[in-house]
C-alpha cells in the first residue's frame, strides 16, 4: 500500500520511520517533509493545506492511506474534502473530520464538550468584543494567576498566564478589541488556574473503540527550570514516572471513556489520534486541552515505544476494527531532546550546516526543521532535530541523548540541558 504523511516536523519523520518498518508499506510519500523523511521516503513539495494539490498527488501516486500530522488541515476539513470527492472517498484518512477537529480549533467548543460530558476541567467563561466590560469585571472577581485563552488556533501562542490584574485586563482588551491574535481571539476563554504537574495522554480511536498509547511529558519552555518563552516543545519523556496505575485508571475512566463516548453521542466523526493535555491537581486528573493530532516532540518518544505494526493499526482504525488490535509497548523508557536554532522561539537564522549526524549510533536522530541543500543537511526551522534514546529508565535514556548530542553541531545550536529535571 502507498502511504502519504502530511507535515514536515520531527513528528512526521517519526511517523515515516515507524511506517517504513511495516511490510504493508510499499511506497511512502511525505508532503512537504524534511531531510529526515527525504532519506526514507519521497518528499512532495506540497503545502499541508493545499487540498487540490494533495488530491492530485494522491491520485498520481495511487495512495491508499493519508496520515495527517498537524492540526491545520484537519481544522480546515481535509478529511471531509476526501469523503466528498468521488476519486478520494475510498482513501483512508487518519485524522478527525472538521466538526470533531473543533476540539482543537476552538477552545470554547472544547470546554462546552467537556461540560456536556462531565469531563473534569478548569471552570471558565468566554467573552467577545461585545461583552468585554463583563470580562474585565469577571477578572476582578478571580484570583491570580489569570489564564486567558484565544478561542481559535494561534500557533501555540494563544494562552496567556498573568499574575497582575492590570496586565490581565490590558491583555484581555488587546485580544478582544485589538485582535492581538487576529481572528483567533475574537473570542477569549478565561479559565480558573490549575496548579499541578502536566502530562499528556494519547488515544487512538476509530470512532467506536479506543486504545491508549503510552503517556508522555513534554517541556514547553525555552529555558532551563521551565523558564522563558513557550515553544512547541524542547524535549519529552515517556512513560511519565508519576503516572501510576491508579492514576492511569482514573484518566481512562474519568477522561478517556467520556471523551470517546461524547464524540459518539455528539455525532463527531473521529478516526485518529486524540492528544489529551492533562494536569494532575492533587490526585485528580483535569483536562487542559484537546489536540486532534499527535504531539511534537511527544511522538518522538511515544512511537519508538510502540511495538505493534503502525500500518496495521491505521488500517484497523479506518475499518473500525480497532478493538481487534493488540497494542504492544516496549517496557523501556524513551526520551528526546530537541535541538533548536539560537534565538528560537523568536527570530533565528536558517541555512546552517548540521554535522555529525552519521556519528549518532546510540540514539535516533529525528529531523525536524532541516532540509537537504547541495548534498548537505542544513537548518530550515526553529526546532531542528530531536535526539531520541531508549533506557531502562528515563535517567539512562536522557544521558544517552546528551552523549549523542556531543557529536552534533550547527552554528548557534541550543538545547535544554535539564529535560526530566522535575521528575
Q: How far is the CB of 193 from ligand AMP (least distance, A)?
A: 4
> Residue 132 or residue 159: which is nearer to ligand GLY going by CB?
159
> Residue 25 or residue 103: which is nearer to ligand AMP going by CB?
103
Q: By rule CB under 6 A, what string of x and - marks binding of each residue 107-146 to ligand AMP? A: ---------------x------------------------
Contact flag: residue 372 with ligand AMP (CB under 6 A):
no
Asked if 127 and 163 count as a contact pair (C-beta separation under 8 A), the reply is no
Q: How many residues bind ligand AMP (CB under 6 A)?
A: 13
Contact flag: residue 108 with ligand GLY (CB under 6 A):
no
> Residue 160 or residue 302: which is nearer to ligand AMP going by CB?
160
Q: Distance of CA 395 to CAs 14, 225, 226, 334, 400, Å?
A: 22, 17, 18, 10, 9
Asked if 352 and 369 count as a contact pair (C-beta separation under 8 A), the reply is no
Tell me how far apart the alpha carbons of residues 184 and 186 are, in angstroms, rounded to a whole number: 6
Q: By rule CB under 6 A, what string of x and - marks binding of each residue 175-194 to ligand AMP? A: ----------------xxxx
The residue within the footprint of ligand GLY, chosen from 296, 340, 371, 408 (CB under 6 A), is 296
Q: Name the binder of 296 from ligand GLY, ligand AMP, none, CB < 5-8 A by kind.
A: ligand GLY
Q: Name the binder of 194 from ligand GLY, ligand AMP, none, CB < 5-8 A by kind.
A: ligand AMP
The residue within the footprint of ligand AMP, chosen from 147, 201, 234, 255 (CB under 6 A), is 147
Contact flag: residue 300 with ligand GLY (CB under 6 A):
no
> Residue 129 or residue 220: which is nearer to ligand AMP going by CB?
220
Q: Distance of CA 114 to CAs 195, 254, 258, 381, 404, Å?
A: 19, 11, 9, 35, 42
- The closest of 291, 270, 111 to 201, measured between CA atoms, is 291
Question: Do the strands 235-238 and 217-218 form a parallel or antiparallel pair, or are they unpaired?
Answer: antiparallel
Q: Distance of CA 279 to CAs 149, 172, 202, 293, Å?
A: 17, 24, 14, 19
* C-alpha cell read off for 249: 485508571
E strands within 15-155? 27-32, 42-43, 63-68, 92-94, 124-128, 146-150
* C-alpha cell read off for 291: 489536540
Asked if 292 and 74 count as a contact pair (C-beta separation under 8 A), the reply is yes
* Close Cβ partners of 135 (under 8 Å, ≥ 6 residues apart): 125, 127, 172, 176, 188, 190
* C-alpha cell read off for 261: 463516548
The residue within the footprint of ligand AMP, chosen from 277, 342, 356, 391 (CB under 6 A), is 277
Contact flag: residue 171 with ligand AMP (CB under 6 A):
no
Contact flag: residue 262 with ligand AMP (CB under 6 A):
no
Q: How far is the CB of 124 from ligand AMP (least distance, A)?
A: 8
* Residues at the interface with ligand GLY (CB under 6 A): 218, 232-233, 291, 295-296, 298
Residues at the interface with ligand AMP (CB under 6 A): 122, 147, 159, 161, 191-194, 198, 220, 277, 288-289
Amino acid at each position: 500500500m502507498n502511504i502519504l504523511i502530511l507535515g514536515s516536523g520531527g513528528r512526521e519523520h517519526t511517523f515515516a520511520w515507524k511506517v517504513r518498518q511495516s511490510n504493508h508499506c510499499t511506497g511512502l510519500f511525505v508532503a512537504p517533509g524534511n531531510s529526515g523523511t527525504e532519506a526514507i521516503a519521497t518528499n512532495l513539495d506540497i503545502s499541508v493545506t493545499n487540498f487540490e494539490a494533495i488530491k492530485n498527488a494522491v491520485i498520481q501516486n495511487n495512495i491508499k492511506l493519508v496520515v495527517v500530522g498537524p492540526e491545520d488541515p484537519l481544522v480546515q476539513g481535509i478529511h471531509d474534502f476526501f469523503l466528498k470527492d468521488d476519486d478520494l472517498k475510498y482513501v483512508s484518512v487518519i485524522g478527525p473530520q472538521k466538526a470533531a477537529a473543533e476540539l482543537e480549533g476552538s477552545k470554547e467548543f472544547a470546554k462546552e464538550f467537556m461540560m456536556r460530558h462531565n469531563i473534569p476541567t478548569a471552570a471558565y467563561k468566554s467573552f467577545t468584543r461585545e461583552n468585554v466590560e463583563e470580562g474585565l469585571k469577571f477578572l476582578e472577581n478571580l484570583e491570580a494567576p489569570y489564564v486567558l485563552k484565544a478561542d481559535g488556533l494561534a500557533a501555540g501562542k494563544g494562552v496567556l498566564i498573568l499574575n497582575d490584574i492590570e496586565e490581565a485586563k490590558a491583555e484581555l482588551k488587546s485580544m478582544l478589541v485589538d485582535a492581538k491574535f487576529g481572528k483567533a481571539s475574537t473570542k477569549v476563554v478565561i479559565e480558573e488556574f490549575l496548579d499541578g504537574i502536566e502530562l499528556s495522554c494519547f488515544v487512538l480511536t476509530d470512532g467506536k473503540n479506543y486504545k491508549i498509547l503510552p503517556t508522555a511529558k513534554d517541556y514547553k519552555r525555552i529555558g532551563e527550570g521551565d523558564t522563558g518563552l513557550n515553544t512547541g516543545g524542547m524535549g519529552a519523556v515517556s512513560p511519565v514516572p508519576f503516572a501510576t496505575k491508579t492514576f492511569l485508571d482514573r484518566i481512562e475512566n474519568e477522561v478517556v471513556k467520556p471523551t470517546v463516548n461524547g464524540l459518539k453521542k455528539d455525532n463527531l466523526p473521529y478516526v485518529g489520534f486524540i492528544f489529551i493535555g492533562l494536569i494532575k491537581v492533587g490526585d485528580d486528573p483535569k483536562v487542559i486541552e484537546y489536540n486532534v493530532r499527535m504531539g511534537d516532540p511527544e511522538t518522538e518518544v511515544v512511537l519508538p515505544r510502540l511495538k505493534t505494526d503502525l500500518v496495521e493499526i491505521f488500517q484497523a482504525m479506518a475499518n473500525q476494527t480497532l478493538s481487534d488490535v493488540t497494542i504492544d509497548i516496549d517496557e523501556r523508557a524513551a526520551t528526546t531532546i530537541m535541538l533548536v536554532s539560537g534565538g528560537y522561539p523568536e527570530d533565528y537564522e536558517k541555512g546552517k550546516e548540521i554535522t555529525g549526524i552519521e556519528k549518532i549510533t546510540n540514539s535516533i536522530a529525528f529531523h525536524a526543521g532541516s532540509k537537504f541543500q547541495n548534498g548537505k543537511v542544513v537548518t530550515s526551522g526553529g526546532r531542528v532535530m530531536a535526539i531520541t534514546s531508549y533506557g531502562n529508565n528515563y535517567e539512562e535514556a536522557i544521558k544517552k541523548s546528551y552523549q549523542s548530542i556531543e557529536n552534533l553541531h550547527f552554528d548557534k545550536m541550543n538545547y535544554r540541558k535539564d529535560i526530566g529535571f522535575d521528575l
